[in-house]
Chains A and B, each alone.
Chain A
């Protein structure tokens, strides 16, 4: 039975898209943005089933690395689902201090991007490949912001 389910699951994986609902919190500081991505409860359960190999409901160092290697760093090809535009120019996106942990049974990714909006700028968290939905839960900013959000993504106009 177990083998049957694995075969079915593997077969379906060839045809289907993975997807995640991610609650997002941003803190925009003068020279950086701190991002917090909290995965939904169901996907967190499934991901912990896969990556929490010692079943302690936490991600230890090795489990955290395996998780980030599978579900965060591959997003580099899609600019980590971020758009940072200063004026009309796209900024290079390089996440720093990337961490993953578990809070209230939900997986959370924390990271920082360097960004100094010296002119009107745009900050978006959006998956152009349509696999993930990002919901803006909270934003703190040292600059004036204008928010445009849907159930799937959000953009902030940042005015220094």
Chain B
């Protein structure tokens, strides 16, 4: 019976997934400074630091790529023109992306 219970717990454990988090991204462009500020808010802000991001123009050409720093609420990078889009992606799993349309 004890082994059966442990097996059931094992099956339950395989279903459950406790680790989830939110990511809220804000992108702004400073025309005077020719720079882009990316802010990342999360219930686990450390996760922001696991990401890199591409800034792209309207033709989907990459303008610049940078890493989001750990322990910071935002980062600023130089960018010669206003980007049309940002792709924010996990360094370890580049397929895991967030896309932000820059308005």
Tell me whether A5 and B46 are in contact in the complex, defined as CB-CB below 8 angstroms, given that A19-B18, A128-B93 are known contacts.
no
User: B46, A12: Cβ atoms under 8 Å?
Assistant: no
Asked if residues B49 and A124 are in contact (CB atoms below 8 Å), the reply is yes
Closest-CB distance, B49 to chain A (whole angstroms) = 7
List B residues at the A interface (Cβ < 8 Å).
Answer: 3-4, 6-11, 13-21, 43-47, 49-50, 70-71, 90-93
A12–B6 Cα distance when bound, in Å, is: 15
Pair B93/A16 contact, Cβ less than 8 Å: no
Find the B residue at minimum CB distance from A154: B46
The bracket for how many chain A residues form the interface is 35 or more
B18 → chain A closest CB, angstroms = 6
Known: A133-B18, A148-B45, A150-B43. A122 touches B71 (CB 8 A): yes
Cβ of B4 and Cβ of A129 under 8 Å apart? no
Residue of A85, A129, A130, A131 with most chain B CB atoms under a 10 A cut-off: A130
Which stretch in A29-37, A41-49, A66-74, A104-112 binds the other chain?
Answer: A41-49
A-B contacts, CB under 8 A, total = 97
Inter-subunit contact B70/A155 (CB<8 Å): yes
Per DSSP, chain A at the interface is: mixed
Contact A152–B21 (Cβ < 8 Å): yes
Contact with B along A84-122 (1 / 0, CB 8 A): 010000000000000000000000000000000000001
Are the C-beta atoms of B92 and A129 separated by less than 8 Å? yes
A21 and B9 in contact, given A126-B46, A126-B50, A155-B70 (Cβ under 8 angstroms): no
A78–B92 CB distance below 8 A = yes
Q: B9 near A12 (CB under 8 angstroms)?
A: no
Instruction: Report the nearest B residue to A50, measured CB to CB.
Output: B10
- Residues in A whose Cβ lies below 8 Å from that of B90: 128
- Kindly list chain B residues whose C-beta atoms are within 8 Å of the C-beta of A49: 3, 6, 10
Contacts of A12 in B (CB 8 A): 11, 14-15
In the bound complex, how far is the Cα of B19 from the Cα of A18, in angstroms?
11
B92/A5 in contact, CB under 8 A: no
**Cβ distance B13 to chain A, nearest Cβ, rounded Å:** 6
Bound together, the chains give a CA A80 to CA B66 distance in angstroms of: 23
**A138 to B45 Cα, complex, angstroms:** 20
Identify B19's interface contact among A124, A133, A149, CB under 8 A.
A133
